[in-house]
Amino acid sequence: IMFSASVTNDTAFHPSTFILLGIPGLQDQHVWAAIPFCSMYILALVGNGTILSIIIADRTLHEPMYLFLCLLSIADLILCSTTLPKMLTIFWLKTHMISYHGCLTQMFFVHAVFAMESAILLAMAFDRYVAICRPLHYTSILNATVIGKIGLACVVRGLLFVFPFVILIERLPFCGHHIIPHTYCEHMGIAKLACASIKPNTIYGLTVALVVTGMDVVLIATSYGLILRAVLRLPSKDAQFRAFSTCGAHICVILVFYVPAFFSFFTHRFGQRVPPHVHIVLANLYLLVPPVLNPLVYGINIKQIRLRILGFFMGRR
């Protein structure tokens, strides 16, 4: 009897499973809603896989900008693969159940990889700053050792800042609440099920979003401000065009990454009048749109990538 009571209390504190509802209010449309999401996921896999294979196979592309692009593609693949397969099983196979620890694992990877990708975008902005503002010192500043350390720092920073999310969730009692009105597990979505104060979760979540990601945005903006000033001083119009072309691709990727993410973040916390299904769709798009568009943006705007993609497909004919 004592063992049974212990199990019951443990289950009340932490449910053994959660149920992911999908998109609230659109359950009848799940089968059809899955088609565009599945199509975007396939595009993300093919696009980022192509970018990775081209850069890895061509030694002339083993330069800082392309190595950072490899890191971005890897992060994109992990980011969308963390949520999309489970979402598609919810939509098509009606498998709404996910284990408690599986849910926390998914939450951890969603937020950690997002933080890593933000750091990678900052590293890419720094790469462009050194290439344009300090071209004579480019190879000495961004050598293989430095690139390796930057990549490791991106990963470690993401893990360190996101691990407290797991601790903050573990301390919460759920009192039997286990239905999450979402397609995947994310920090505040789980925390809102708790039957105790989630103020520490809210404060830490806002702190990470505004201090960590917000600081990345400020530093990226500063880098591109300095780049713009340097580009406008270039004597040759052709040199200015080439610099703007390369930086334009990066700016497009940055906007695609941050705008949907911040919009989703703030509507989730402060947009009480926004319908729940809009929240959920936005939360999925900010994890899926960057992995889909990043390869397209770089494939179109960066000549070396574009030529090799064309050569890859022409060679298969």
Q: Tell me the per-residue pLDDT of 31-60, one tens digit each, with 9 for 90 and over.
A: 998 999 999 999 999 999 988 988 888 888
CA distance 91 to 111: 23
Q: Which domain holds residue 48?
A: 18-297
CA distance 281 to 24: 10
Q: Which of 82-86, 120-124, 295-299 has the lowest mean pLDDT?
A: 295-299
- Say if 310 falls within a structural domain: no
CA distance 44 to 73: 9
- Say if 48 falls within a structural domain: yes
The contacts of residue 230 (CB under 8 Å, 6+ apart) are 132, 133
- Say if 10 falls within a structural domain: no
Q: What is the mean pLDDT of the chain?
A: 84
- Say if 168 falls within a structural domain: yes
Residue 296, token pair as written in the block: 């397209």
Q: Which of 151-160, 165-174, 234-243, 252-261 has the lowest mean pLDDT?
A: 234-243
Give the number of domains in the chain. 1
- Say if 49 falls within a structural domain: yes
**Tens digit of each residue's pLDDT (9 = 90 or more) over 235-293:** 777 767 777 776 777 788 888 888 877 777 777 666 667 777 888 888 888 889 889 98
In eight-state DSSP terms, residue 194 is -
- Say if 199 falls within a structural domain: yes
Nearest to 192 by CA among 264, 269, 278: 269
Q: State the pLDDT at residue 55.
A: 87
CA distance 136 to 113: 33
CATH number of the domain at 109, please. 1.20.1070.10
- Say if 46 falls within a structural domain: yes
pTM: 0.88
pLDDT of 7 > 80? The answer is no
- Say if 83 falls within a structural domain: yes
Burial class (CB within 10 angstroms; exposed 0-12, middle 13-18, buried 19+) of 242:
middle
